[in-house]
Structure 1
Amino acid sequence: MSEAAGSQSGLAQMAANRRGILWMLLAVMLFVVLDTFAKLLSETYPVWQIVWARYTFHLVLIALFLRGALPRTLRTRRLPLQLLRSLLLVITTGLFFMGLSMLQLAEAAAVMLLGPLFITALSVPFLGEKVGMRRWGGVFAGLVGALIVIRPGTDVFVLASLFPLAAALVNAFYHITTRLLSHSDSSMTTLTYSSLVGAVVMTLGVPFFWVQPDLIGWLMMVAVGLVGGSSHFCLIKSYSEAPAAVVAPFGYSNIVWAVLFGLVVWGDLPDAWTLLGAGILVVSGLYVFHREQVRKREKR
């Protein structure tokens, strides 16, 4: 390759990386918008109904987007794993929305930062990956950060903190199954199953929890589904434009959006301990991710 061609290729990659980062930042912001709508809805409607709206209107969006290609998109080589993964995502959403209904947005978001650290720990028994002492140290530091946010044994601690903690753990299993599926099914197939299974499962139970929405309630429920679908689309676009090593660290910007939205919508400002714990979680997560990239380069 000539020097000019190499320079042009490098510029093209830099442009793609910038697009990937922008898509990731947009995806993360939309995820927090979704959480904000869910928390607002939880002041009037049951969590089950909100989760139902999240997946039902997401499925409507996908069906409109795919139209005639929907049956072909549903073809999968690993149906049981697709169903398990989708069910894990529904459980994650339900647990997190339950925590959101009782906690500040930033507090719930901070605890969810444990997710990537749980994934690292679970990759050992489920994916057969080797995790060195440095990464285990990062995981341990993240657990300390989570304990600072939750503060068990103090007056600040409430049982509601356990919901996002459980959501982070279940979400880690969800990501493990996603990695397993990435070798056999397309991202669109996996995304479609997520919304389909979520809509079906939640529809079975929603009559027992139903509260008739007013016009504003309906609009917000539709928004929950549309924003949820759009956020996943942006996430897929981000990883299609740039390598994970470039875009993944920007996923931690969610804590910034969560603090901002919580302050603007509810006037909530996290205390110093919550911000300290969140900071430790972000740093430890980024360190673990850095070590994962180092290990991948060493294997080449």
Structure 2
Amino acid sequence: MTQSNNIRLGVTLMMLTTFVFALQDGISRHLAEAYNVYMVVMVRYWFFAAFVVAIAYRQSGGVRAAARTRQPVLQACRGILLALEVCVMVTGFTLLGLVESHAAFACYPLLVAALSGPILGETVGWRRWVAIAIGFVGVLIILQPGVSVFNPYAVVPLVAALMFALYGLLTRYAARQDSTATSFFWTGAAGAITMSLIGVWFWEAMTGSDWAWMGVLCVTGVAGHWLLIRCYEVAEASAVQPFAYFQLVFAAALGVTVFGETIRPNVALGVLVIVGAGLFTLWRERQKR
């Protein structure tokens, strides 16, 4: 079946993907509160790298074909950037919780739209610039500068959003010469090497129950990436991407029910503004294409 005939399946897979990733974020928060963030992310990346190699092995040409690229520096930078972004975001979970971290992080599609001009040379029309400006008003509503004492920890998920936006733009740039399989392989390999060089210095002994949680974290990481791959195989990205915002919904529900977090009115309002602006930019990009 063609992609256009599988939109419903693609949406279902995206919803499952966001649920799994939200669950992964909750487990990451639980483990990072007891152990060093670098160690937690390192073990997670070991399993991710094994998954990437397994996927590459099943493709035509095997691992060697997947690793072949004419832009190794760019691909390595992508993988390193994503690994460090995961560390920053998990740190944000421990400092702010799932609800407010994801609320601030939700602005990353707007950052992608804003930076697509200077990095990729794409034209950003006035409508999308207006949407970007409105989205950042939503960020200010969440942060409330000048209304109350500004929480400096709120900067952490914003930094993660910027890093993830840059990762996404570099991925688009790399796709001009490399296949998806090659970019995916380098994401896992470069990230695993980077986190091994960092995380090994922060190794801590874990309890048996936490090793079980670590196992679940690794499985959800692999499952989430597999579901995302399948999602983009059966449906156009522009059709299913708006449903990626459901990760914010699932993460917020997990934060409230499991970790006892609260959703402040300004955070809820800011998220609505950001998501609305983000959906508009996605719609404009689809119309442009």
TM-score, length-scaled by structure 1: 0.90
CA distance, structure 2, for counterparts of residue 177 and residue 128 of structure 1: 12
Equivalent residue, structure 2, for 1:53 = 43
Equivalent residue, structure 2, for 1:113 = 106
State whether residues 56 and 185 of structure 2, in contact with CA within 8 Å, keep that contact through their aligned partners in structure 1: no
Q: CA deviation at 1:156?
A: 5.7
Match of 1:214 among 207, 212, 218: 207
CA distance, structure 2, for counterparts of residue 194 and residue 23 of structure 1: 22
State whether residues 118 and 172 of structure 1, in contact with CA within 8 Å, keep that contact through their aligned partners in structure 2: yes
> Which whole-Å deviations, capped at 9, do the CAs of 1:137-170 have from their partners, x for residues lacking one?
1001111111111223444632211111001011
Tell me whether 1:132 sits opposite 2:122 in the alignment: no
Equivalent residue, structure 1, for 2:286 = 293
The one-letter code matched in structure 2 to 1:78 is: Q
TM-aligned CA distance change 1:217 to 1:71, over 3 Å: farther
C-alpha RMSD of the superposition = 1.8
> Which whole-Å deviations, capped at 9, do the CAs of 1:164-191 have from their partners, x for residues lacking one?
1001011111001110122322222222
Identity %: 33
CA distance, structure 2, for counterparts of residue 153 and residue 264 of structure 1: 30
State whether residues 61 and 226 of structure 1, in contact with CA within 8 Å, keep that contact through their aligned partners in structure 2: no
TM-score, length-scaled by structure 2: 0.93
CA distance, structure 1, for counterparts of residue 149 and residue 222 of structure 2: 35
State whether residues 53 and 224 of structure 1, in contact with CA within 8 Å, keep that contact through their aligned partners in structure 2: no
State whether residues 56 and 181 of structure 2, in contact with CA within 8 Å, keep that contact through their aligned partners in structure 1: no
State whether residues 3 and 236 of structure 2, in contact with CA within 8 Å, keep that contact through their aligned partners in structure 1: no
TM-aligned CA distance change 1:209 to 1:284, over 3 Å: same
> Which whole-Å deviations, capped at 9, do the CAs of 1:212-258 have from their partners, x for residues lacking one?
11112222223323322221221121122111221111111112101
CA distance, structure 1, for counterparts of residue 178 and residue 221 of structure 2: 21
Q: CA deviation at 1:119?
A: 0.5
**Matched length:** 286
TM-aligned CA distance change 1:64 to 1:243, over 3 Å: closer
Q: CA deviation at 1:92?
A: 1.1
Q: Per the alignment, in what secondary structure is the counterpart of residue 152 of structure 1?
A: coil
> Which whole-Å deviations, capped at 9, do the CAs of 1:45-65 have from their partners, x for residues lacking one?
011111112211111233345
In terms of Rg, which structure is larger?
1
> For structure 2, which runs of at least 5 residues remain unmatched after alignment?
none
State whether residues 36 and 105 of structure 1, in contact with CA within 8 Å, keep that contact through their aligned partners in structure 2: yes
TM-aligned CA distance change 1:295 to 1:29, over 3 Å: same
